[in-house]
Each structure stands twice: as C-alpha cells, then as structure tokens.
A and B are shown apart, each in its own frame.
Chain A
Amino acid sequence: MTNDNAYWRETRRLTLVLFAIWVLVTFVMNWFARELNELVIFGFPLGFYMGAQGLLFVYLSIIWFYNRSMRKLDAKYGVHDD
C-alpha cells in the first residue's frame, strides 16, 4: 500500500472533515427543524429558511472551501493534472 503519500493523506483528511460537516448540517440539523422553526430569521421560520436557502449557501461554501484547499494542496505538492 502506498498510503504514506502525503498529498493523498491530506486530501483524505480534508474530505473527511468536510463530509462530516455536510452530514451534520444535512441530517442532524434537519432532524431538529421543528425546533428551529421557533426562531425567526429575515421573516422566515429558521428551520424553513435553512431548508429553502441557508443550507444551499452552506453547500456552496463547502465546495468553495474544498476547491480552494485543493488548489493550495496541488501547489504545495506540485501536482499538475493536464
């Protein structure tokens, strides 16, 4: 096994952390949507707002952050795919 490769190790760690955040906001948070609805944000009940808009921004930021980190990793380890 070539698991000692640092580029892959860091990629995997980053993926795991972001995946965990994704699970947390998608499944754990939505389980409590009813409770979140007690709060109001921009005129929306919070649980509803997260499902209709908030989560979508979180998803977009996860992908944005992943891309940025991967660009840095690519540069750090000199990985060029073409």
Chain B
Amino acid sequence: MLGSLTRLQRYYLYYTGSFLLFVLALAVLEQHGMPPRWIGYAFLFFTISMYAAIGIASRTSDVSEYYVAGRRVPAFFNGMATGADWMSAASFMGLAGTLYLSGFQGLAYIIGWTGGFVLVALLLAPYLRRFGQYTIPDFLGARYGGNAIRLVAVGAAILASFVYVVAQIYGVGVITSRFVSLQFEIGVFVGLAGILVCSFLGGMRAVTWTQVAQYVILIVAYITPVAILSYNVTGVPVPQLVYGQVLQEVTVLEKRLFDTPAEIEVRRLYSERANTFAEKIMQLPYSLTHEREQLSTMINQLKASDAQMRDIVALERQRRDLPLDPDQARSRWETAMFSAVERSRPPLHHAEAFPGATEEERLPERINFLALIFCLTIGTAALPHVLIRFYTTPTVSQARESVFWSLLFILLLYMTAPAYAVFAKYEVLTHLAEIPIAKLPSWVAAWTKVGLVSIEDINRDGILQLAELSMNPDVIVLATPEIAGMPYVVSGLVAAGALAAALSTADGLLLTITSALSHDVYYRIIRPDASTQFRLVISKSLLLLVAVLAATVAAEKPGTILSMVAWAFSIAGSAFFPALVIGIFWNRATRTGALAGMIVGLMLTIYYILRVEFDSIPWLGIKGFNMEPWFHIHSTSAGVFGVVAGFMTNIVVSFLTKPHPGSEIFLAKIRRESSEGGDHRDK
C-alpha cells in the first residue's frame, strides 16, 4: 500500500508517525514523573528543530525556488500548506473563544473565512497561476501597466501583512510564556528564531514544506482535546457530529439558569456599578480630587484613633493607586464602566441568530452579521500571502485542485471550532454555574492565576452566578485539556499546535512583505538589471530586517494590535479585490480606473475605521472626530464601504479613460482566448 504513495507522501507519513510516537513517549514519561515544564520544553524543542531541519534541507539560491517554490508543489500539498498559511494564532486560539462568547453571531467568521475560498477558486487562482509570475503587485502591474499601481499595491500588501505578522509573533510570545514559562520578550525572540529557520535560507520552498509539517501538528493538536472531551460527555469521540445534542442541552440549561433571581440581582448590581462610574466620569476632575480628599480624611481619622496599622496601609495603597490625573482617570474608569456594562447585560442564547428583544434591535445584528461575512470573504480572497500560494503549483489545473484541498484542510479546523465552544459552554453551565466558589473545578483557579479567567462574587453569596464569571476568549482552547481532565502532555500538544499555527502564518506573511519589497520595489522599479545572485541577497537581508522589526514591535506588547488584525481583511479587500477581479473579467478596465479604485477604496476603509473607532489622534493634533457608524456597521466591517466604493470608482473612471494597450494581450493569455480554435500551447 505504501508503494502507491508518492515519495513526498511517504515522507510526510513517516513524519506524522514519528510525531505521534514522540507524543506517546512523552505521555509515558509523564506517567513516570516527568515534570510539566520539561514536557513544554520538549515540545518546543522538538517541533522547532523539525521545522529547522526542513528549512535547512530546503535551502536554495534559485530565484524561482525562493519566491514560488520552483512551481513544483503538488495540489494536495499546496492545499495543506495553504491551510497552515491561512490558519493563524487567531484561528487556533481565538475562534472557539469568539464562538463561545458570541454564539451564533460568531459563525460569521466560519462562513466568511471559508466562503472566501470559493471566490479564490472561481475568480482568482486559475488566472494568477496562468499569469505565472511572482507577486500580486506583479499581476496588477502587468494587467494595467506602469509602476504607480505596483507601488500602491506594495503599500497595501505591506499595510495588511505587517500588523498581521506582528500579531503572530505576539501570539508566539503568549504561548511560550504560558506553557514553558519563558519571559514574554524572550518568547517573542524564540518565535523570531522559529520563523527565520523556516524562511531565511529557503524562501517559499522552505516555507511550503514546513507549512505542510506545521499543518499536521496543528490539526492533530486542535482535534485531540475536544475529541476526548466529546467522548467524556457523549460517548462519541467525533465532536463535529454530536455537538448538536449537546447544544440542545445547553439551550435547556440556558433557559433554566439565565433568569434565576440571583442572576438578575447580580446583573442589577453590575448595572449600578456602571452608573457609579458613569457619574464619576461626568464629574471629572472634581470626582477625582474628591475621592482623594475622602481617602485622606479617612486615613487621618484612622491615624488619630489607634487603628490597626494594616488598615491604614491598605487605605494609603488605595490612595496611591488612584489615577494620577483626570485623563488617566477617564480612561481607567471608562474601561471599568464598559466591563460592568458588559456583565450587566442579559446573556446570549448560544444558538439564537441576531439576538434582540424587538425587530428593531435585531436589524443591526443582522446587518453586521452579513457585513462581517462580506468583509471576511473578500479579505480572504485578497490577502496577498494566501494568493501567492497559488503561484506555486505546476499547472493551472493543479492550482484549481489545490483550492479544493485548501478548503478541505481548513474545514477540518473550522468545523471543530463551534464544537469547542458548545462543549465549553456545556461545561460552564453544568459544572460552574450555581456552584459554591470554594468548590469550583481546579482549572478555574489555574487560569485565574494567569489572568485569563476572572471571578468576582459581587453579591457576596459565595456562589458563582454566570454574570460573575468572565473569560478571555483564548482560554477555551487552552483550557479544554484540563477541563476534560487530560494529562499535561495534551496541554503541551495544544501549545505546539498553537505555535505551529502562528509560525506558519508568520512565515507566509513575512515572505509576502519581503517579496513585495525586494521583487517589486527593488528589482522591478529601482534596479531591473540586478543579477539574480544580488536579488537573493537583497531578499534575504530584507527578510531578516522585517522579521526583527516585527519582533521588536511585538515585544512592546501593543494592545491595539490584535484588533488591528480584524481590520487587515477590510484593508486588503478594498485595496486588491476590485482591481484584481475587474482586471480579469472586464476588458474595458483602465490603469487610471484601477489606481483610482484602489486608492479610493483603501482611503475610505481607513477613514471609516479611524472615525468610528477613535476620537482623537494625538500626534496629528486631531480631536473629537468620532462619528456615528453608517447603517450600524462596526469598524471591523469597514471594507463593505471600501470594496463597493473601489468597484464603483474603478468602473466610472475606466469609462472616462483609455485602456492600457498591453492589456489585450495580457487578458488573452490569462483567459486562453488569444487565437481561434483554442489549441495553443505556450511552450
């Protein structure tokens, strides 16, 4: 049977086998008393050295190998590599958590991130492969002609990819600091090393083959814990099939638990707290000085009487911890107020679509659900690091096949994520709600210590109400092994999977940024006569530079970076999608039209995000420009306006200007319509 497989398939089969043996060996060692910390190190060391071995074995000094893996990647493996390239730390850790927190509304991510591949298959992949160059700016440059569009495309590619790569490296820092207790900053640089060993020497060729290896690890790591949990709860280890029944039980539990008197009381207390903070914010700066004076008087009174020293110290600390100035007070109290408001809301029923008491409340939910799907699909079909993967197959037909495989491999994870959320919710509703706080399962305490779970007994009844519990989305996947009572080796496996997801995406992104700079800017625009040797030197040095820069930014722990990833989809979608699709399917599209469409789309998207999300940009001296969203649409779906504006501008301006003379030959080539009769081979 082994004989019928190709050499590559056999290699990866052996690789998967040895990985499973490695996990098994660790499990046995754990039984014999190997400490968890060592298991974490073993996973970190084993997986990264695997990737390094593949990366070094795939080193290359050939330009085509470096940028597009020599166009020799079979459809099946390109599908796997695309899967790993696509699924980031956010898909691996965050998605299940988002689904847990927002129930049905979270499905927009599942639908959008898979639906986008239909657009890739139908509208883009075959044409990109038939064109057969190296980057997305290449394609736009050839279709429309000129360097201006190439430069705009490079700018947009870097804008969308850089924040994304920073978020991946940040993810690596989080994973390593949690599982092997490295310091966050050191974890970031371990991540940097992990990325560089894959991409530095071998470019796309090395990245492709490590991504295949990383896919295997990430999918095993994602499915194992929830399969075991599913077996514990339902007796069937296929969570995707059986979580429907669990969902029904969850719905029954929700009906019983959501409106008990204690829950309502807790929500009322939170809403009172929110009001207190709102009042305090309204009365700034008076409220701050007043609070400080109050504390001072109390301290003085205590000092005058002979109170316990401990009480005085506690009050003094409280006074010291007060915000320093009204600005700080405002931001701190606003955070506190929003979190109280969040907890005072009635919880969502998991399966309910577009929740709301009236049709009027439901409409914005419905609009935002569809708008988010729209942006995520278009963004998926426009993110350059995914699209360039379809340059790497040997033929056009294989490029088409590889979209199928990509979606299949991605499906395995995305079908499992909602199951994670439902099983976690079942666990919380059965084993946490209405349980005395002293008797909560041990995983709650473990994750409270790391700050990912927080419990506050606001009504002081000693019993946990649902509104008193808040969980960071990442905790769902990370804590499932403990929830199901599995040995630490499974937690280590999950960490290795999350690491693989983050590293594989970071590699693809880094390569996209590097090739945009070295191929499109340096080679195509600045020095078209550069030798291939020198082009590779430039590529490799830029790769190093961009990687170090991204790691440095990630080490700063920028708080907003994670929300910026959601915007990357809108940015990429509005910059690339209209220009690419119109460029392929409409003969009349012109250079000026495409350029205008890209710039208008991009600008509108950024403008909308800034005005909805922020109130001031201190370094530009702009203040008070926050606006009401248009049609209730959140800033994460800003691309809705950008993409539509991009299409319209492109079409209108194209009608007013003349097409680029070279475009007909280009179109004839990618559509295969150059001569009558149809049979025309290039080579």
Stretch of B59-67, B320-328, B397-405 lying at the A interface: B397-405
Q: For window 353-376 of chain B, which residues contact chain A by CB distance below 8 Å?
A: 353-354, 362, 366, 369-370, 373-374
**B679 CB, min distance to chain A CBs, angstroms:** 4
Beyond A44-B244, A70-B126, whether A62 also contacts B353 by CB under 8 A is: no
CA of A78 to CA of B679, assembled, Å? 5
In the bound complex, do residue B104 and residue A48 qualify as a contact, i.e. CB atoms below 8 Å apart? yes
CA of A30 to CA of B369, assembled, Å? 9
In the bound complex, do residue A81 and residue B396 qualify as a contact, i.e. CB atoms below 8 Å apart? yes
In the bound complex, do residue A67 and residue B401 qualify as a contact, i.e. CB atoms below 8 Å apart? yes
Out of A31, A43, A55, A66, name the residue touching B122 (CB < 8 Å): A66
**B350 CB, min distance to chain A CBs, angstroms:** 8
In the bound complex, do residue B404 and residue A59 qualify as a contact, i.e. CB atoms below 8 Å apart? no
Q: Flag whether B394 is at the interface (Cβ < 8 A).
A: yes
DSSP class of B's interface residues: helix, strand, loop or mixed?
helix
Chain A residues near B104 (CB, 8 Å)?
33, 47-48, 51
Chain A residue, CB-CB nearest to B400: A67
CA of A53 to CA of B241, assembled, Å? 10
Stretch of B48-56, B256-264, B410-418 lying at the A interface: B410-418
Binary per-residue interface labels of chain A (1-37) against chain B in the complex, 1 for a CB within 8 Å, 0 otherwise: 1110111100110010011001000110011011011
Out of A1, A6, A56, name the residue touching B587 (CB < 8 Å): A1
Chain A residues near B570 (CB, 8 Å)?
none
Q: For window 59-78 of chain A, which residues contact chain B by CB distance below 8 Å?
A: 59-60, 62-64, 66-67, 70-71, 74, 77-78
In the bound complex, do residue B354 and residue A33 qualify as a contact, i.e. CB atoms below 8 Å apart? yes
Binary per-residue interface labels of chain B (318-354) against chain A in the complex, 1 for a CB within 8 Å, 0 otherwise: 0000000000000000000000000000000001111
Chain B residues near A52 (CB, 8 Å)?
107, 110, 415, 418
Beyond A59-B118, A70-B126, A82-B683, whether A27 also contacts B415 by CB under 8 A is: no
Q: Which residues of B contact A (CB under 8 A)?
A: 104, 107-108, 110-111, 114-115, 117-119, 121-123, 126, 129-130, 240-241, 244-245, 247-248, 351-354, 362, 366, 369-370, 373-374, 377, 394-397, 400-401, 403-404, 407-408, 411, 414-415, 418, 585, 587, 664, 668, 671-674, 676, 678-679, 681-683
Q: Which residues of A contact B (CB under 8 A)?
A: 1-3, 5-8, 11-12, 15, 18-19, 22, 26-27, 30-31, 33-34, 36-37, 42-45, 47-49, 51-53, 55-56, 59-60, 62-64, 66-67, 70-71, 74, 77-82
